[in-house]
Amino acid sequence: MRAVLYETFGGPLALREVPDPTPAPHGAVLRVEATGLCRSDWHGWRGHDPDITLPHVPGHEIAGVVAAVGKDVRRWAGGERVTLPFVCGCGACPPCVSGNPQVCDYQSQPGFTHWGAFAEYVAVAHADLNLVPLPDDLDFVTAASLGCRFATSFRAVVDQGQVRAGQWVAVHGCGGVGLSAVMIAQALGARVVAVDIAEEKLALARSLGAAATVNAREVEDVAACVREITGVGAHVSLDALGSPATCFASVAGLRKQGRHVQVGLLLGEDRHAALPMDRIVADELEVVGSHGIQAYRYAALFALIESGALRPDRLIGRTIVLEEACDALPAMDRFPGAGITVIDTFV
């Protein structure tokens, strides 16, 4: 099969012919019909993820068709249209048994723990637990855009943030995850303040339902701006980028007893970012993490889409062919363009 592969962290990516994957007894192989480019893949390429061994094929936002299944698989026979969470559970550890495979003790992640979806085929572990059937009217490109962006944001906003109608929600960082969070919070009836350094992305956030925006390049104190816009601070705030500055501003912009949800990855030297602990204690602020989504929660995400309240297709920026990912992935450190880029041509 054809796949985009790199042999050194931060080194060149190349389109290569590599062996087709085969399914584990409990697993499946998917024919990839669409896969998103995500900043998490960029972090992996830069060497920020200890699970990656070289050489490596990135890609974790997947929509495709079941091409082969292992002998122990019961729910799938082949030919089904599917997607999956970027964190795949084992189904047997305590987190999985409690309904939380997104923090599985033995999780697998296509594009990180093993070769991913920048390829014609990709292997998936524990297919009966992790594969999700796609609604008939959801196309592959839109399904791939849900991948880690909308699915991650859905859990962050709905389950971890517990956002309710009428609340103020601040979203720091208007990349794919942040803009997805803007759309989901707005669909729930919340009022959103979007924060970014690029006016193009802030304009897109406004077009997607943000009630107000803050250009972090143009103000001295982002948190103070959020507090001024919202009256006393946001009820819920998300760091959708993952940097010491956005994390601190997200917490500092909350009202008393507000909730900060950390979604963006803080890696390398940033993994021990400072927080305003005096505010956290005195104002009884909550700080929670959010990591992926459970496969069974896709039903609620699909229902929001089917209701018409959420239009993920509006966030698709462009589609590209597989070979173009060799240049598009390294360019993600410059945060080019707005919206989600999806690979939809593999031959």
- Give Dmax (Cα) for the chain: 60
Q: Can you tell me the distance from the alpha carbon of 233 to that of 158, in angstroms, rounded to the nearest whole number?
A: 19
**What CATH number has the domain bearing residue 248?**
3.40.50.720
Average pLDDT, the chain: 95
Please tell me the predicted confidence (pLDDT) of residue 6: 98
157 is a domain residue: no
Please tell me the predicted confidence (pLDDT) of residue 179: 95
Q: Can you tell me the distance from the alpha carbon of 160 to that of 171, in angstroms, rounded to the nearest whole number?
A: 14
Asked whether residue 270 carries a pLDDT value surpassing 90, the answer given is: no
**What CATH number has the domain bearing residue 96?**
3.90.180.10
- Number of structural domains found in the chain: 2
| 339 and 255 together in one domain | no
Please tell me the predicted confidence (pLDDT) of residue 337: 61
The secondary structure of 70-116 as a DSSP string is -TT--S--S--EEE--SSBP-SSSHHHHTT-GGG-TT-B-BTTTB--
List the beta bridge partners of residue 52: none
pLDDT tier for residue 265 given thresholds of 50, 70 and 90: confident
**And the tokens for 17?**
């012919």
pLDDT tier for residue 336 given thresholds of 50, 70 and 90: low
Please tell me the predicted confidence (pLDDT) of residue 104: 98
Residue with token string 């091409």: 67
Which of the 8 DSSP states describes residue 99? T
329 is a domain residue: yes
* Phi and psi torsions of 133, nearest 5°: -70, 140
Query: Which residues constitute the domain of residue 219?
Result: 162-289
Q: Are 62 and 109 in contact (CB under 8 A)?
A: no
156 is a domain residue: no
